[in-house]
Amino acid sequence: MKIVSWNVNSVRARIENILEYINDSNPDILFLQEIKTQNENFPSESFAKSGYNSYVFGQKSYNGVAFVSKSKIENIKRDFIKDKLKQSRIITGEILINKKKIKLINIYVPNGNPVDTEKYEYKKDWLTSFIKKIKKELTINSNIIISGDFNIIPEEIDVYDSKRYEDDALYRLEIRKKFRELINYGFSDLFRHFNKSKHEYTFWDYFAGSWKKNYGMRIDHFLASNNLIGNVKSITINKKPRSKTKPSDHTPIELEIS
**Residue 210 binds DNA (CB under 7 A):** yes
Q: How far is the CB of 45 from DNA (least distance, A)?
A: 17
Work out how close the CB of 155 gets to DNA at its nearest, in angstroms, rounded to a whole number.
Answer: 15
Let me know: does 226 contact 188? Beta carbons within 8 Å.
yes
6 contributes a contact to DNA by CB under 7 A: no
- Least distance to DNA, CB of residue 82, Å: 18
Query: Which one, 204 or 228, has the nearer CB to DNA?
Result: 204
The verdict on 113 binding DNA (CB under 7 A) reads yes
Residues 6+ apart with CB under 8 A from 136: none
Name the strand (E) or helix (H) holding 176.
Answer: helix 173-184
| Cα–Cα distances in angstroms (integers) from residue 231 to residues 74, 78, 143, 151, 227, in the given order | 21, 27, 11, 26, 8
Answer left, alpha or beta for residue 86, where phi above 0 means left and psi between -120 and 50 means alpha: left
* 114 near DNA, rule: CB under 7 A: yes
Can you state the percent helix, strand and coil of the chain, rounding each to 5? 30, 30, 40
Helices (H), 38-170: 44-49, 118-137
Considering the rule CB under 7 A, would residue 178 count as an interface residue with DNA? Answer: no
The answer to whether 47 and 68 have CB atoms below 8 angstroms apart is yes
Coil/strand/helix, residue 231: helix
Give yes or no for a cis peptide into 43 (omega within 30° of 0): no
**Least distance from DNA to the Cβ atom of residue 231, Å:** 29
- State which residue, 122 or 194, has the beta carbon closest to DNA: 122
203 binds DNA (CB under 7 A): yes
Kindly state whether residue 196 participates in binding DNA, applying the rule CB under 7 A: no
Q: Segment 21-80, which members bind DNA (CB under 7 A)?
A: 34, 36-38, 60-63
Given the rule CB under 7 A, which of 11-19, 23-31, 71-79, 234-242 is the region that contacts DNA?
11-19
* Nearest distance in Å: CB 12, DNA: 4
- Site size for DNA (CB under 7 A): 37
Query: Dihedral sign, CA of 168, 105, 26, 17?
Result: negative
Q: Is 185 in the site for DNA (CB under 7 A)?
A: no
The Cα–Cα gap between 144 and 154 comes to 20
Among residues 64 and 102, whose Cβ is nearest to DNA? 64
Binding site for DNA (CB under 7 A): 7, 9-10, 12-14, 34, 36-38, 60-63, 110-111, 113-114, 119, 149, 151, 164, 170, 203, 205-210, 213, 215, 217, 219, 246, 249-250
